[in-house]
C-alpha cells in the first residue's frame, strides 16, 4: 500500500515536472520568436476568407487583387505576419488590405504596441492564450457570422414531435410492453432523420468548438485592464455566447471522441441521440440563436484578432533595423520618403525622394531598379496607411487610395491581349482620378503593349490627365521622348548602370534628371554579339537621333 502511494506520488511529481518544463519551453520559444520571421505554412485560401466576405463599403479603399499582385502582397504579408492565432492571421490580412477612413484608433493602437514591446510578461501571457486558437479549424469561426446558416427543412416541425413521442413511448413501455414495438418504429424513422442531419453536423463540428475557445480566450483577455480598453463593451458579447455555450459543448464532445473507450461510449451516445433526435434539435437550436448574435460573435473575433495583430506589428518593428511611423496629413498633397527601402530585399539600397506639386517619371534600363522603386513606394504607402509602419527613416503622405499597372499579362482564357488588359487597368485609374480623394497611381512602362508612336502619344495624354487632378503618379519608361513631353507635369529621375569592358554594375541609386546614357547596344557588345550587328545597330541609332533633333528644332 505504501509502495502504491509512493509510486503515485512519484508519478504525480514527474507529471508536474513535465508540465512545468513544457510551459517553460513554450515561454522561452515565444520570447525567442519575438522580432523574427514566422516559421509556418500560409493557407491563403483560408486566411483571406474573412476579408473576402467582409463589407468594406465604409472604408477608404479595399485594395484590388490587381494591386496586390503587382506589389507582391502575399510575400509582404508573410514577412509582416507574426500572429499566434488563425483569428489574428485573418484579421491582419484584412487590416493590410483595407485602407481605413477613420484613423482615430491609431493613438490607442500605438499605446498597446508600445506596451507589448516593453512588457514581455504580458505579451507572452497573451500569446499563450492566443495559441489555443492556432489550429486550422479556427479559420472557420468567421463563417459563423459571415455566411448564411443551414435553414430548417419545412418538415422540421416533426422533429420535436418525434423526440417527445420517443420519450413518452419509452416511459409507457415500462407499463405496456407492446410500446417497445412503437419505440422500434419511431427509432427507425429517427435514424433516417439523424443520418440525414449528419452532413449538417459535419459542417459545424469544426467551427462551433472553436467558437467556444474564442469565447474563453476573449474572456481571459478581457480581464486585463489594458486590453479592456480595446472594446469596453465586450462583456455583453461574452455573456451572449455564455448562454449557448452548454449547447455548443455537445459538438465539442463529439469532435473529441477518438480512442477505443471513447468509441464504445460514442456508440451508446449515438443510440441515445437517434432515439431523441438530439443532434438536429441542438444544431438548429444553436444556429437559430447564433443567427441573431452575429454582431456579438464578430466583436469577439475582432477583439482577439486586433490584439494578436498589434503584437504582430510589435514583433515586426522589433526585427527591423529601420522603420518609422508615417506622418499622414489629409490636407497635404506631398509625399516625402527619406532613406526608404523594400522590406523583402536584403541589404536594400536606400533612396530618398520628395514629391511636391509634380508627379514622378523614372527612366533607366532594365534591372536598374525602376520597378522595384515603384513597388517600394507602393508597399510603404500601404503599410503606412494600414499598420502605421513604414520601412524608412521618414515617410509622409496624404490619405491615399492606391492603384497600379505594374504586372500585366495576356489573359488567354478570356481572349484578351496584353494591350487590352493594360487599357482596362488604366481606364480604372482615369475614372478614379477625378474624385476628391487623392490617389497614388503606380505604372511601369505605360502602354508597352503597342507601337512606339502611339505608346508615347497615348502615354503623354493619359499621364498628364492623371497628374493634373492633384494625384501622385509614379511611372517608369524607356521612352526618353516621353520624358521630354512630360517635363512640365513630372519631375524626372533615373536609375543608371556602369558598363565596363566585360561587366555591368548597378548601384540602384535614384538620380535627378532623365537618363542620358544609353547602354543597351554596349551591353550587346560585351556579351559578344557579332560585330556586324553592333555596327548596324549603332548606325541606325545615330540616324534616329538625328531625325529626333531635326523634328524638335522645326
User: 166-199 pLDDT, tens per residue?
Assistant: 888 878 877 887 777 777 888 888 888 877 777 7
Q: Output the pLDDT for position 314.
A: 97
Q: Measured between alpha carbons, how far is 217 from 198 in angstroms, rounded to an integer? A: 29
User: What share of the chain in percent tops pLDDT 90?
Assistant: 44
Phi, psi of 97 (to 5 degrees): -95, 0
Confirm if 507 and 349 have CB atoms less than 8 A apart. Answer: yes
Residue 541 confidence (pLDDT) above 80: no
Q: What residues are paired with 493 via a beta bridge? A: 362, 512
As given in the structure block, the three cell numbers for residue 392 are: 524608412
Helix (H, G, I), strand (E, B) or coil at 54: coil
Q: Measured between alpha carbons, how far is 406 from 456 in angstroms, rounded to an integer? A: 17
As given in the structure block, the three cell numbers for residue 312 are: 504582430
Q: What are the distances in angstroms from CA 459 to CA 155, 346, 477? A: 65, 34, 10
* Other C-beta atoms lying within 10 Å of the C-beta of residue 328: 18
> Which DSSP category does 472 fall into?
E
How far does Cα 4 stand from its chain's mean position? 56
Q: Measured between alpha carbons, how far is 230 from 225 in angstroms, rounded to an integer? A: 10
User: What share of the chain in percent tops pLDDT 70?
Assistant: 86
Q: Output the pLDDT for position 261.
A: 53
Q: Measured between alpha carbons, how far is 42 from 92 in angstroms, rounded to an integer? A: 13
Helix (H) / strand (E) element for 332: namely none
Q: Output the pLDDT for position 217.
A: 96
Residue 263 confidence (pLDDT) above 90: no
Model confidence band, residue 377 (pLDDT cutoffs 50, 70, 90): very high
Model confidence band, residue 75 (pLDDT cutoffs 50, 70, 90): very high
As given in the structure block, the three cell numbers for residue 1 are: 500500500
**DSSP, residue by residue, 393-416:** SEEEE-S-EEEEESS---BGGGTB
Q: Output the pLDDT for position 553.
A: 46
Q: What residues are paired with 477 via a beta bridge? A: 363
Q: Output the pLDDT for position 321.
A: 93
R_g (Cα) of the chain, nearest Å: 32
Q: Measured between alpha carbons, how far is 441 from 488 in angstroms, rounded to an integer? A: 18
Q: What are the distances in angstroms from CA 526 to CA 478, 522, 531? A: 21, 6, 11
All residues at 6 or more sequence positions from 394 whose CB lies less than 8 Å from its CB, including other chains = 324, 327, 336, 337, 338, 339
CA angle (491 as vertex; 489, 496 as ends), nearest 5: 140
Whose grid coordinates read 463599403?
57
**Measured distance between the N- and C-terminal CA atoms of the chain, rounded to whole angstroms:** 113
Model confidence band, residue 493 (pLDDT cutoffs 50, 70, 90): very high
Phi, psi of 511 (to 5 degrees): -125, 145
Of 108, 384, 57, the residue nearest 231 (C-alpha): 108
Q: Output the pLDDT for position 9.
A: 52
Q: What are the distances in angstroms from CA 378 to CA 2, 212, 351, 397, 404? A: 73, 40, 14, 12, 9
Of 448, 431, 457, the residue nearest 371 (C-alpha): 448
Residue 554 confidence (pLDDT) above 80: no
All residues at 6 or more sequence positions from 363 whose CB lies less than 8 Å from its CB, including other chains = 370, 476, 477, 478, 480, 483, 492, 493, 494, 495, 514, 515
CA angle (217 as vertex; 212, 218 as ends), nearest 5: 95
* Other C-beta atoms lying within 10 Å of the C-beta of residue 494: 24
Confirm if 483 and 361 have CB atoms less than 8 A apart. Answer: yes
Q: What residues are paired with 416 via a beta bridge? A: 411
Q: Measured between alpha carbons, how far is 217 from 85 in angstroms, rounded to an integer? A: 11
- pLDDT, average across residues 8-14: 53
Model confidence band, residue 48 (pLDDT cutoffs 50, 70, 90): very high
**More confident of the two residues 18 and 155:** 155
Amino acid at each position: 500500500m505504501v509502495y502504491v502511494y509512493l509510486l503515485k506520488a512519484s508519478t504525480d511529481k514527474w507529471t508536474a515536472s513535465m508540465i512545468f518544463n513544457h510551459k517553460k519551453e513554450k515561454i522561452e520559444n515565444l520570447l525567442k520568436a519575438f522580432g523574427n520571421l514566422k516559421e509556418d505554412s500560409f493557407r491563403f485560401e483560408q486566411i483571406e476568407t474573412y476579408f473576402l466576405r467582409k463589407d468594406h463599403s465604409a472604408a477608404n479603399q479595399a485594395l484590388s487583387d490587381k494591386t496586390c499582385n503587382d506589389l507582391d502582397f502575399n510575400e509582404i504579408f508573410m514577412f509582416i505576419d507574426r500572429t499566434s492565432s488563425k483569428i489574428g492571421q485573418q484579421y491582419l490580412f484584412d487590416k493590410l488590405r483595407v485602407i481605413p477612413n477613420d484613423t482615430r484608433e491609431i493613438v490607442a493602437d500605438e499605446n498597446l504596441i508600445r506596451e507589448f514591446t516593453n512588457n514581455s510578461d504580458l505579451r507572452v501571457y497573451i500569446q499563450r492564450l492566443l495559441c489555443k486558437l492556432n489550429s486550422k479549424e479556427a479559420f472557420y469561426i468567421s463563417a459563423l457570422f459571415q455566411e448564411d446558416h443551414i435553414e430548417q427543412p419545412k418538415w422540421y416541425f416533426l422533429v420535436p414531435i418525434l423526440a417527445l413521442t420517443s420519450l413518452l413511448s419509452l416511459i409507457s413501455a415500462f407499463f405496456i410492453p407492446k410500446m417497445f414495438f412503437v419505440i422500434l418504429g419511431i427509432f427507425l424513422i429517427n435514424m433516417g432523420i439523424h443520418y440525414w442531419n449528419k452532413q449538417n453536423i459535419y459542417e459545424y463540428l469544426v467551427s462551433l468548438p472553436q467558437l467556444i475557445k474564442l469565447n474563453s480566450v476573449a474572456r481571459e483577455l478581457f480581464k486585463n485592464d489594458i486590453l479592456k480598453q480595446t472594446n469596453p463593451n465586450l462583456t455583453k458579447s461574452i455573456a451572449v455566447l455564455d448562454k449557448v455555450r452548454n449547447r455548443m459543448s455537445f459538438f465539442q464532445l463529439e469532435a473529441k471522441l477518438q480512442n477505443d473507450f471513447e468509441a464504445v461510449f460514442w456508440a451508446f451516445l449515438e443510440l441515445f441521440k437517434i432515439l431523441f433526435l438530439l443532434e438536429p434539435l441542438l444544431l438548429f437550436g444553436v444556429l437559430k440563436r447564433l443567427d441573431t448574435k452575429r454582431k456579438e460573435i464578430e466583436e469577439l473575433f475582432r477583439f482577439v484578432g486586433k490584439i494578436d495583430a498589434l503584437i504582430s506589428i510589435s514583433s515586426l518593428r522589433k526585427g527591423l533595423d529601420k522603420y518609422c511611423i508615417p506622418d499622414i496629413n489629409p490636407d497635404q498633397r506631398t509625399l516625402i520618403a527619406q532613406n526608404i527601402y523594400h522590406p523583402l530585399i536584403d541589404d536594400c539600397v536606400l533612396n530618398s525622394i520628395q514629391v511636391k506639386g509634380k508627379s514622378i517619371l523614372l527612366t533607366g534600363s532594365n534591372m536598374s531598379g525602376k520597378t522595384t522603386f515603384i513597388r517600394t513606394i507602393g508597399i510603404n504607402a500601404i503599410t503606412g496607411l494600414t499598420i502605421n509602419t513604414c520601412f524608412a527613416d521618414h515617410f509622409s503622405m496624404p490619405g491615399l487610395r492606391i492603384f497600379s499597372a505594374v504586372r500585366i499579362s495576356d489573359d488567354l482564357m478570356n481572349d484578351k491581349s496584353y494591350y487590352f488588359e493594360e487599357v482596362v487597368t488604366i481606364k480604372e485609374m482615369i475614372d478614379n482620378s477625378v474624385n476628391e480623394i487623392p490617389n497614388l497611381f503606380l505604372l511601369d512602362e505605360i502602354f508597352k503593349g503597342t507601337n512606339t508612336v502611339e505608346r508615347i502619344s497615348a502615354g503623354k495624354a493619359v499621364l498628364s490627365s492623371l497628374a493634373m487632378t492633384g494625384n501622385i503618379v509614379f511611372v517608369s519608361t524607356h521612352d526618353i521622348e516621353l520624358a521630354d513631353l512630360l517635363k512640365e507635369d513630372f519631375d524626372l529621375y533615373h536609375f543608371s548602370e556602369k558598363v565596363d569592358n566585360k561587366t555591368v554594375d548597378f548601384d540602384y541609386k535614384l538620380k535627378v534628371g532623365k537618363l542620358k546614357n544609353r547602354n543597351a547596344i554596349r551591353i550587346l557588345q560585351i556579351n559578344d554579339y557579332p560585330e556586324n550587328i553592333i555596327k548596324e545597330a549603332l548606325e541606325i541609332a545615330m540616324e534616329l537621333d538625328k531625325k529626333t533633333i531635326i523634328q524638335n528644332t522645326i
